[in-house]
Amino acid sequence: MSYSDFSRSQIEECVAKSYAAFSTYSQSTLATRNQLLHAIASELEKQRSALVAAAALETNLPEARLNNELNRTIFQLESYGDACERGYWLEASIDQDTSSQPVKPVIKKHMIPMGPVVVYGSSNFPFAYSTAGGDTASALAAGCTVIVKAHPAHPKTSSIAASCIEKAIVTCHLQSGIFAHVYGASFQVGEWLVKHPLISAVAFTGSFTGGKQLFDWAAQRAIPVPVFAEMGSVNPVFLLSEKLEQEPTQIAAQLSASYTLGVGQFCTKPGLLIGMESEALNLFCDEMIKLTKQIQPSQLLHAGIEHLYRTKSEQLIAQKGVELIAQSQQQAGVGEGQALLTRVTASDWLENKLLHQENFGPYTQIIVCKNYAELLLVAQALEGQLTCTLMATVSEAKASQELIRLLEQRCGRLIFNGVPTGVEVCKSMHHGGPFPATTDSRFGAVGADAIKRFIRPLAYQNWPEELLPDYLQDNSLTSIPRYRNGVIE
């Protein structure tokens, strides 16, 4: 099968069909959208063997990991569909005061889908953040049509997932234009899509370079559109002394496993470990050194990532004050990533912005601070993050409010005595953060609230009842939550 780049005319045809289908799909019932998402989940399950086999071949990820990721993807589709039908995200509200003089207008408001959405799949999650992943699921739940640009690192996997979506659309008797699947290894295909005047929003998971480029292209349009780009993070972990004194080896075991999980190819990998000079920190470092040496090199996703990891690691290790204190004892083979552990003083780290950047792969650095004041300077210097972690006792946390306030302003998820890898799919999850972690910190890419990226408010003033959606009509028996005069019904 050919996975050649789509031409400009093919892109035009896809977008035109998507835009035409939006006029109908945007008016579909919430139950219909729920049915579609469950049907997609069912088709993915039917194609599990083919999907996992293709992804294993294209990404070098083990089958056990891929099966777990597919389980997550299926759960996402079903849970977003269920959340869609419950309708809380519509934020339905009615304001009317018949007793006022002069009589005030009746205002009713809800959320409506924005329009066709382009989704750019990721390389490191071929299921959960790709063709049938969370961006596609949340956009379809919102009532938007979707065009997915397959990631060139796993085109066959993406093609199988796309066929599952297309079959589900047929099963649900919906228009084919609701979903389109395009190929494009060149930047030009991506540019054509994001700059097309009929595209209303963009979702992306990947590198800072790729996400920022899409954001800039969207801003250059005559009518700019939102780009929801999740671009990664170094996910700092702050190690406070009392907690570290109690559990230096246990914490080292947690963080060693976390930074090398999936060969370090998680956007939530802990890439900075910040502590203060102490015997406990020395014990922690010794244990990290021992554990890092035991890590077996493994295949990275593709040759491009292997090259970037190797060159970025060499660049970082060559910086002033950076000490390579441990690496996998076994040398990395072709295409493999070797675990690397470095150490640097806070003063050297603060002076060098290059050391603040993500290194995608099994690499982490320990930052040694002279005291708590210097640790606060490190926190102040951080850019926006997906996560920040505090390893501390409760009493330490109570006494560290300044640090906590700094971290709250710099991340989307604040973790206490845990690790950032592992992002639970649930309503309360926020997988996002201030720039450069994402391009819009108000929204997240995981959990049903991800639907909110692709909707906008619309208010009706003095609108005839029979022309309103059922849940905005005065005497509706709807189960959808709504506010009346500012009070939830």
Query: Is the backbone peptide bond immediately before 236 cis, with ω within 30 degrees of 0?
Result: no
Instruction: Give the model's confidence band at 477: pLDDT under 50 very low, under 70 low, under 90 confident, else very high.
Output: confident
77-106: average pLDDT: 93
Count Cβ atoms within 10 A of the Cβ of residue 330 and give its class: 0-12 exposed, 13-18 middle, 19 or more buried. Answer: middle
CA distance 130 to 201: 16
How many other CB atoms sit within 10 Å of the CB of residue 124? 25
Q: Does the pLDDT at position 98 exceed 80?
A: no
CA distance 421 to 263: 12
User: Do residues 259 and 364 make contact, with C-beta atoms less than 8 angstroms apart?
Assistant: yes
Quick: pLDDT tens for 233-269.
Answer: 999 999 999 999 999 999 999 999 999 999 999 999 9
Q: In what order do the strands lie in the sheet with 117-120?
A: 179-182, 146-149, 117-120, 201-205, 227-230
The three-state secondary structure class of 431 is: coil
Instruction: From residue 457, give the alpha-carbon distance in Å to each of 91, 108, 402, 434.
Output: 9, 10, 37, 23
Task: Tell me whether residue 369 is one of the annotated catalytic residues.
Answer: no
127-154: average pLDDT: 98
What is the per-residue pLDDT for 175? 94
Instruction: Give the model's confidence band at 97: pLDDT under 50 very low, under 70 low, under 90 confident, else very high.
Output: confident
What is the per-residue pLDDT for 1? 61
Please report where in the chains the tokens 């910040």 appear, as a residue.
Answer: 274
* H-helix or E-strand spanning residue 229: strand 227-230
Q: Which of 267, 285, 369, 388 is catalytic?
A: 267
How many other CB atoms sit within 10 Å of the CB of residue 91? 15
> Residue 26's Cα: distance from chain center in Å?
25
* CATH numbers and ranges of domains, the chain: 8-231+441-482 (3.40.605.10), 237-416 (3.40.309.10)
Quick: pLDDT tens for 208-232.
Answer: 999 999 999 999 999 999 999 999 8
Please report where in the chains the tokens 């956009």 appear, as a residue.
Answer: 139
Beta carbons within 8 Å of 441's beta carbon, 6+ residues apart: 384, 412, 432, 433, 434, 435
DSSP string, 306-364: HHHHHHHHHHHHTSTT-EEEEE-SSPP-TTEE--EEEEEEHHHHHH-GGGGS---SSEE
CA distance 368 to 413: 24
14: left (phi over 0), alpha (psi -120 to 50) or beta: alpha
User: Do residues 382 and 410 make contact, with C-beta atoms less than 8 angstroms apart?
Assistant: yes
Task: Tell me whether residue 426 is one of the annotated catalytic residues.
Answer: no
Spatial CA neighbour of 207 closest among 119, 311, 122:
122
pLDDT, averaged across the chain? 97
Quick: pLDDT tens for 427-467.
Answer: 999 999 999 999 999 999 999 999 999 999 999 999 999 99
Quick: pLDDT tens for 159-198.
Answer: 999 999 999 999 999 999 999 999 999 999 999 999 999 9
- What share of the chain has pLDDT > 90, as a percent? 96
38-55: average pLDDT: 99
381-404: average pLDDT: 98
Count Cβ atoms within 10 A of the Cβ of residue 417 and give its class: 0-12 exposed, 13-18 middle, 19 or more buried. Answer: middle
What is the per-residue pLDDT for 450? 98
What is the per-residue pLDDT for 103? 84
Q: Which of 58, 230, 287, 306 is catalytic?
A: 230
How many other CB atoms sit within 10 Å of the CB of residue 462? 9
Quick: pLDDT tens for 359-376.
Answer: 999 999 999 999 999 999
User: Do residues 284 and 275 make contact, with C-beta atoms less than 8 angstroms apart?
Assistant: yes
Quick: pLDDT tens for 291-341.
Answer: 999 999 999 999 999 999 999 999 999 999 999 999 999 999 999 999 999
Q: Does the pLDDT at position 282 exceed 90?
A: yes
32-41: average pLDDT: 99
- What share of the chain has pLDDT > 70, as a percent? 100
Angle of CA points 21, 22, 25, to nearest 5°: 85
CA distance 404 to 388: 10
CA atoms within 13 A of residue 341's CA, in its CB half-sphere: 26
63-67: average pLDDT: 97
The one-letter code for the residue type at 98 is T
39-58: average pLDDT: 98
Angle of CA points 86, 91, 97, to nearest 5°: 125
User: Do residues 381 and 350 make contact, with C-beta atoms less than 8 angstroms apart?
Assistant: yes
Q: 353-367 burial by CB neighbour count: b if 16+ within 10 A, else e? A: eebbbbbbbbbbbbb
Q: What is the pTM of this model?
A: 0.95
